[in-house]
Structure 1
Amino acid sequence: MRLHSPSMSELHAFMTAARLGSFTQAADVLCVTQGAISRAISRLEAHFGQPLMQRNAHGLKLTETGRKLFEGAQAPLQAIEALSAGLRTDERRLRLTLSTVPTLASAWLVPQLPDFYQRHPDIRLSFAAYRRNEDFSGDTPDASILSGTPDQWPGWQADYVIGREMVVICHPGRLAARQAQGMWNTPHGLLGEPLLYHTNGMDNWAQWFTGAGVPRDSVALANGFDQVSILIRAVMADMGIAVLQRCLVRDELQSGRVAAPFPELPVRIARGYHLCAPAQRRDHHALTCFREWLLETASRDPDVVAATLSP
């Protein structure tokens, strides 16, 4: 079947120029050059085999054919625009762009994601670059998993996920040697060790000792690292001991690459990982689905369960 209708780009160029009475203004609205508008309308006139508008010193004047086209195409074009906008909105509601602390993503979140995709096969999840001081000033991300306390993000939706449960880790050989020497019978014995730390959590050791009931005047820290993965490698190299969120080192503990001197000691700090989003995105469908899944998944984590059951 032969199609008699023109292309949409040429029709939009004509309708916009006719409505505004100017090629220049039409070019600005459609984000093209004035020459592109002129060429599009020339192709449209060639398609119909007659002129559609005339240019003069006072602007543009539609011919009789141009007037018929303008009046007849307005309603259909508006309907197509409304439909297109709705379809784009439907597609957008099924996309979620997330940023997250890289170590948490690799150690805890990503291994859980197959369950999310199984529950929500229609949602497309993508990851944006992580910014420690995310302020949602750009187009992305829609939400971010950040480390901190809820009072850091007033006005945002901030849900605690995981990460308050801390554990001390060390080289397995160091643990065996200290236990043989009878030096680590209580947490107080750790004060004499090189205390490695993450530069974004310099107070973690102080909070851990306080939670463990260790009397102290101050904590003398050793070497600092700005990446958790490097901090873990330093412990594996027996450079010292570290205190980290248990969810980040579960694989290393289970494999025996690091050891925990006091694995059952329940010490929790105020800081944790929170799913954060600005208020205007609370009704985003994909984010709502991800939030519900994430909080449900975290609630089943052994550390979170233990924290819930402890007095």
Structure 2
Amino acid sequence: MRFKSPSLPELHAFLAVCQLGSFRKAAEALYVTQAGVSRAVLRLEQHMACTLLDRSGSRVVPTARGHEYRALIEAHVTGLENAFDRFGGRSGMHKLRISVAPTLGTRWLVPRLPKFRALHPDLEIEFRQFHYDEDFSREDVDVWIEIKRPTRAWPRGIRARYLLGREIVPACSPALAAGLREPGDLLGSTLLQHTNYPDNWALWLQTAGGVPAPPALGPGFDLGNNLIVAACAGMGVTVIQPALIEPELESGKLVIPFRRAANTERGYYFCSRAAMAGNDASDRLAHWLMSEAEASAASVQWAA
């Protein structure tokens, strides 16, 4: 059977604009971007080969054909929504689609998710691919845990709340730490670097270690997770956010040789569209993440 009817997202967008009289308000109600609603309605009009909305006034209203089409479909779309509410396979479940920086997701967030699931069994977290050049226009993501770049402002319409990860500290194996008496000794060590942030070592040495001399950097890694594995293997000393090495600090595989941190002015932020304000699922996840971030910062085991 070949279906000729438009997709549900297109119908949802059209009906929301009809009901609210605004693409912006429809986007807020559907938790998508205004551009996404506009594109969905345009696809519907192209599919139906007619103009369904009059956009010329201060309030968007259906055209004559739009009124006719709305009358034909509104009850049926409402019926589909009611059917889902009644017979949905996971009644009462809510889903949040999240994009998170890979190393933070693997090392910090995922190990904590069983605790979140126990507290919120009705809320399902579904991971989406992380984009390093994120512009927050994707419609397959509800919330992000994104890295703040000091030279980049958050886009308009995005609410960003700091979680953790501004501070970096040196970390290495206990064997290497035994030979470090003062920060200047690091200049004679192999300094493992994150290739996306090659200035981290100079920042820490100058602002936290009081060492003005430029460091000679050692092997580079493009993922924080690989950097941590290399440090555990004794390849050298890394400089990294303490939250990412909590298991290694607890087990003793890594230690922090100097009790000093440098502020990168970056860190990880919980980001959501302003239209998501007041969304119960998003608010519950944000509140839990803030609580976990505070606990994480308080539990860092510094080396003596």
Q: TM-score, normalised by structure 2?
A: 0.66
- Does residue 238 of the first structure (1) align with residue 239 of the second (2)? no
Assess if the C-alpha contact under 8 Å between 2:93 and 2:124 holds in 1.
Answer: no
d(CA) in 2 for partners of 1:94, 1:220: 50
Residue number in structure 2 paired with 1:164 = 166
Deviation at 1:291, TM superposition (A): 1.2
* 2:268 matches 1:268: no
Query: How many Å apart are 1:161 and its aligned residue?
Result: 0.6
Decide which moves more: 164-173 or 126-135: 164-173
1:83 Cα deviation (Å)? 4.4
Could you say what secondary structure the match of 1:301 adopts?
A: helix
Provide the C-alpha distance between the structure 2 equivalents of 1:163 and 1:304, rounded to a whole number of angstroms: 14
Query: Pairwise mapping of residues 124-203 of structure 1 onto structure 2 (< 5 A)?
Result: 124-149=124-149, 151-155=152-156, 156-176=158-178, 178=179, 184-203=180-199
Q: Which has the higher helix share?
A: 1
Residue 300 (structure 1) aligned with residue 287 (structure 2): no
> Which letter maps to 1:102?
P
Query: Is contact 1:168–1:260 with CA below 8 Å preserved after alignment?
Result: yes
Query: 2: distance between equivalents of 1:223 and 1:185?
Result: 23
1:85-124 mapped onto 2 (5 Å cutoff): 85=81, 94-124=94-124
Q: Which amino acid aligns with 2:101?
A: V
User: What SS does the corresponding residue of 1:144 show, helix, strand or coil?
Assistant: strand
Matching of residues 200-279 of structure 1 within 5 Å: 200-262=196-258, 264-279=259-274
Question: Can you give the 5+ residue segments of structure 2 that lack an aligned partner in the other structure?
Answer: 7-43, 49-69
Asked whether the 8 Å contact 2:231–2:238 carries over to 1, the reply is yes
Highest CA radius of gyration, 1 or 2? 1
Q: Is the 1:164–1:272 contact (alpha carbons within 8 Å) kept by the matching residues of 2?
A: yes
Work out the CA distance in 2 between the residues paired with 1:195 and 1:305: 22
Give, as a single letter, the amino acid of the residue that structure 2 aligns with 1:145.
I
- The one-letter code matched in structure 1 to 2:75 is A
Letter matched to residue 219 of structure 1? P
Deviation digits for residues 106-143 of structure 1, max 9, x if unmatched? 22112222232233222221000111121233322111
Question: Which structure 1 residue ranges, 5 or more long, are not aligned?
Answer: 1-8, 13-24, 30-73, 179-183, 307-311
Task: Name the % identity.
Answer: 35
Measured in 2, the distance between the counterparts of 1:302 and 1:280 equals: 30
Q: Quick check: 1:107–1:248 contact (8 Å CA) kept in 2?
A: yes
Contact 2:183 2:211 in 1 (8 A): no
Residue 258 of structure 1 aligns with an amino acid whose one-letter code is: L
Query: For residues 236 and 213 of structure 1, do their structure 2 counterparts lie closer, same or farther at Cα, with a shift above 3 Å needed?
Result: closer
Q: Is the 8 A contact 1:165 1:268 kept in 2?
A: yes
> What is the aligned-residue RMSD (CA, Å)?
3.6
Deviation string, structure 1 residues 254-308 (Cα, Å, up to 9, x no partner): 212223212x3243331111112233333443222211221122122234899xx
| Cα separation, partners in 2 of 1:97 and 1:120, compared to 1, 3 Å | same
Say if 1:298 and 1:304, in contact at 8 Å, map to a contact too. no
> Could you say what secondary structure the match of 1:103 adopts?
helix
Superposition deviation, residue 27 in structure 1 = 12
Asked if the contact 1:97/1:127 (under 8 Å) is kept, the reply is yes
Pairwise CA distance, 1:197: 0.9
Contact 2:164 2:268 in 1 (8 A): yes
1:237–1:111 distance in 2 versus 1, CA, 3 Å: closer
